Every structure is written in structure tokens, then in C-alpha cells.
Amino acid sequence: TARRATNGAPDPRRRSRFEHVAVFQGGDFMTVSIGVDVGSGVIKTALFRVEGEKSEWLSRWDARIRQRNTFALVEESVKSVLDSAGLAREDVDYVATTGEGESLPDATGHFYSMTTHARGALYLNPEARAVLDIGALHGRAISIDGKGKVLTYRMTSQCASGSGQFLENISRYLGIAQDEIGALSQQATKPEKVSSICAVLAETDVINMVSRAIKPSDILRGIHESMAERLIKLLKSIDVKRGVVMMTGGLALDAGLVSALQDGMVQQKMETTVTAHADSLYAGAIGAALWGAFRHGKLKERGLLPKAS
């Protein structure tokens, strides 16, 4: 089901709607930009107005793809964010796609998802210097600078038991809703870790645990701890040992995984702080919209935009 587009009304978990964006140093052009992040399971869309060094987040939208037509959902998302902000399609200067949206019609340009998640993470937390992007099919660790530039990265394979799809499958085995996973995991008393990095074998482990009457909370906490170990190894592999790590993607708001990561980093004596944001799901769409506005501004500065007819 599509989540209804919402405007940028203040939320106590969010920063001010009118943001300072350090990366935008050129021109004072006003740009209306849409970012569309097409993930493996969810489409996220964000609408921004950018002027000089300021950006205003006007509206947002997300929906699970399931077996629906991706192009049609993207079109619905664009219409929804524009309607929510009271704008028309002709008011939009740039439509930027990211993720699996490269072939979408009517897009102005496409940005790699590492670049957009890096920029989106920095928007949500200006102190972030690393990103853990955990989506439906893989996890990814990204090192960034103070302007959102990607310095280096590493990612898990698509078959790894450290993804949103894996946890979704496990929740089905356990007969619990996905939004119950985080809270239930934190009730564990004797976590039972999965033994394999392979998702198929790890799911077999879970089935065996269920047959041994292991509590769902202990199974989930064990899975979270196993995932945290692999994600911490990814961070270490790109030399992230201190500073703020921002979580993005569908699992960013899984409280059980955040807790397991925090505990794991303390145990390994890493000088890092793991954070998530109420809008972490939208990081890719945010980054796409902001980079799209930046690119549009640069083209306008150089007089490379087509003349209005």
C-alpha cells in the first residue's frame, strides 16, 4: 500500500525544514527538484526547493513495489508529492533518479545510490562521516567527507543473511509482523546466533531453532548480533573506527539492529556512535533531489540549460 504523500510539517524527530546545505556553494538560483529512489522492494520520493545554500523539504512519499508496475508507481509518487506541496509538473526543474531507477522515463538525470545515500545521510545528520545503508538485498558501508563525497565503500553479497529480505522471511517463519521485530529482539535473554553468512543456510538454522522451541526474541536478537558483526567488519574494512555512523535504508529504524550495533561497537572498543533518523528510509531520495538541484544550478550558471520557448 502506498503511503500518502506528506508535506514538510515540523516533526520533533526531524531537523528544521529550512536547512543549511554546505555542499551548495554556487549561485543563488531557486530550484525545485524531485528525487526518486527505486529500491528492490520500496520506492521513495522526496520533493525539495533549493535556493543558494538553503533547502526546503516540501513533501515525501513511499510505497512497497510488490508485483506492481514500477513506472506507474513512480508516476503516482511524483504526482502525490506535487499535489501535497501544491505544485504542478511544470514547476519542477529537475527529476533525479537513483537505485534501480536509471531507465525511468521523464527523468532528468541519474545518480549512483552510494552518492545519494551519502548526501542524504549528511542532510539528516551533518556530523555523519560514515553510512551504513541496509536495504532489501544487501548491506553497505560508506566512508564520506563533510560535503557528502564518497571516499570508499564495501558491501555484502546479495546472498548474505544481513538484509531486509532475510529478516522479512524470518518474521514470516516466526509469525510476527515486521514492525514488531526490533522491540521483540530487545526482550531477549539468551540470544541464539545463526551460524552461516548464507541466507538460505541461515534460514535453515532458524527453522531448527524454532523446532527446538527457542524463543522468537532470542532468535531475533541472535540474528541482529550476527548482522551487526558483519556490518562492523564492513566498517572496519574501510577504516571507520571513530565518529558518527549514520544508518540509512529500510532497516535503519530496526531498534533491535541498532542496539546490537551499538553493543558490538562498545565490545570492540570502537570510538563510533551509530545513529538513525526518523527519515532514514528517504536518504537515497533526499540525496538524489539535492544532487539534482546542485547539478541544475551548475548548468544554469554555465548557461547550458535550454532556453524557454
Q: Give Cβ neighbours of residue 225 (< 8 Å, ≥ 6 apart).
A: 191, 193, 260, 263, 264
Q: Model pTM?
A: 0.88
Residue 11 has pLDDT above 50, yes or no: no
Question: Between 131 and 197, whose confidence is greater?
Answer: 131
Q: Which of 235, 225, 291, 285 is nearest to 42 (CA)?
A: 285
Residue 9 has pLDDT above 60, yes or no: no
- Cα of 115 vs its chain's centroid, Å: 12
Runs of H (alpha helix) within 45-180? 70-85, 113-124, 164-174
Question: Between 67 and 95, whose confidence is greater?
Answer: 95
Label residue 14 by pLDDT band (50, 70, 90). very low
Q: Which of 162, 182, 135, 276 is nearest to 230 (CA)?
A: 162
Quick one: cell of 5? 504523500
Q: Which amino acid is at 88?
A: A
Label residue 288 by pLDDT band (50, 70, 90). very high
Question: Between 99 and 6, whose confidence is greater?
Answer: 99
CA distances 111 to 73, 192, 245, Å, are 19, 40, 22
**Confidence at residue 203, expressed as pLDDT on a 0 to 100 scale:** 80
The HSE-up count of residue 201 (CA atoms within 13 Å, CB side) is 8
Torsion, Cα 10 14 19 20, to 10 degrees, reads 160
Residue 192 has pLDDT above 70, yes or no: yes
User: Burial, 186: exposed, middle or buried (Cβ in 10 Å; 0-12, 13-18, 19+)?
Assistant: middle
CB atoms within 10 A of CB 303: 7
Dihedral angle sign, alpha carbons of residues 80, 81, 83, 88: negative
The HSE-up count of residue 248 (CA atoms within 13 Å, CB side) is 33
